[in-house]
């Protein structure tokens, strides 16, 4: 019964290759528990090292995002030895579910907001690493909270910024294809608000370069 959590009450809500998310009650609060389970294929020393490093890294970068003015879940508890993170369950809806079902005005406003948040992350040397619309929660108060920093890294270089935004673009084209073009344009508009026109131009050129590398041939327009 570590952390006051009861294993029998855990509800698995997402099983990833690297970590699993559980919904749980913790001190009368709805929380998300992110568990990095041991991997049988690697030796225990290495396994522990990887899991504990990532368990420390993620809350750290989530905190840095808050400093940059980007809403992220509150971290309640970090258990490095067991590779568990207990964090706020963010009430709201995934942007993925909302984006196609609101008015054009609201949609573009939402995209501009998302773009400016991405811009703030990048300006502060934070690369999210998995910018999909399912990793963004729209709260009832109109805030957008970024979740899942499991693939994030610190960098101020152009390349990872381009890759980050490129993934955003791909997500829009695959999941929200009806409005993808106008949405991404709005994202970049918001991005420019945060980082300025000059930097946005550089990043845009980078995104185009990444697309042309052929790695994502299907996305060539």
Active-site residue list = 130
Closest CA to 133 of 75, 85, 174: 174
The contact mask relative to another protein for 65-104 (x = CB under 8 A, - = no) is ----------------------------------------
Per CB under 8 A, 43 contacts another protein: yes
**CB closer to another protein out of 73 and 129:** 129
Contacts of 58 (CB under 8 A, 6+ apart): 34, 85, 149, 150, 152
From candidates 41, 101, 105, 221, binder to another protein by CB under 8 A: 41
Per CB under 8 A, 218 contacts another protein: yes
The contact mask relative to another protein for 112-151 (x = CB under 8 A, - = no) is -----------------xx--------------------x
Instruction: Please state, in angstroms and rounded to a whole number, the distance separating the CA atoms of residues 51 and 136.
Output: 24
Burial tier of 137 (Cβ tally within 10 Å: 0-12, 13-18, 19+)? buried
Per CB under 8 A, 220 contacts another protein: no
Binding site for another protein (CB under 8 A): 15-18, 39-43, 45-46, 49-50, 129-130, 151, 153, 163, 214-215, 217-218
């Amino acid at each position: 019964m570590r952390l006051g959590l009861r294993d029998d009450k855990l509800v698995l809500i997402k099983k990833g290759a690297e970590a699993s998310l559980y919904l749980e009650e913790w001190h009368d609060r709805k929380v998300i528990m992110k568990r990095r389970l041991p991997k049988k294929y690697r030796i225990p020393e290495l396994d522990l090292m990887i899991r504990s490093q990532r368990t420390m890294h993620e809350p750290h970068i989530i905190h840095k995002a808050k400093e940059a003015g980007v809403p992220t879940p509150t971290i309640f508890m970090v258990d490095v030895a067991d590779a568990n993170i207990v964090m706020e369950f963010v009430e709201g809806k995934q942007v993925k579910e909302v984006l196609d079902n609101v008015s054009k005005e609201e949609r573009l406003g939402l995209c501009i907001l998302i773009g400016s948040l991405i811009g703030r992350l990048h300006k502060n040397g934070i690369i999210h690493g998995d910018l999909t619309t399912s990793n963004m929660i729209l709260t009832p108060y109109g805030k957008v909270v970024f979740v899942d920093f499991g693939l994030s890294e610190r960098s101020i270089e152009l390349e990872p910024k381009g890759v980050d935004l490129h993934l955003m673009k791909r997500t829009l084209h695959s999941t929200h294809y009806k409005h993808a073009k106008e949405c991404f344009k709005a994202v970049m508009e918001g991005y420019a608000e945060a980082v300025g026109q000059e930097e946005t131009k550089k990043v845009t050129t980078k995104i185009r370069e990444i697309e042309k590398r052929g790695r994502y041939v299907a996305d060539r327009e």
